[in-house]
Amino acid sequence: MASDTEYGLVSHLYTRDLARGLRISEQLDSGMVGLNRGLVSDPAAPFGGTKQSGVGREGGHEGMLDYLESKYVAVTW
């Protein structure tokens, strides 16, 4: 249900179980995931989405890897 949209820039997930949160973040079809935090942007982190939100990343080391799908998971634990 969470990935049932044409956009995929960022998803947010709040949980008390870190292992479960990381498993779910892998299943979400978005370019970035905020895990137990609202802000996911960071100048050193890759920025980008999936689906109609774009393909590829800008920023960080990931910005050089245009042909791979990656996911940034921001966690406050």
1 falls within a domain: no
22 falls within a domain: yes
pTM, rounded to two decimals: 0.56
2 falls within a domain: no
Q: What does the H/E/C string look like for 44-59?
A: CCCECCEECCCCCCEC
Range of the structural domain that residue 59 is part of: 7-75
The total number of structural domains in the chain stands at 1
57 falls within a domain: yes
Q: Averaged in consecutive runs of 10 residues, what is the pLDDT profile of the chain (77 residues)?
A: 68 94 91 87 68 62 64 84
32 falls within a domain: yes
Backbone angles phi, psi at 4, to 5 degrees: -85, 65
64 falls within a domain: yes
pLDDT at 62: 59
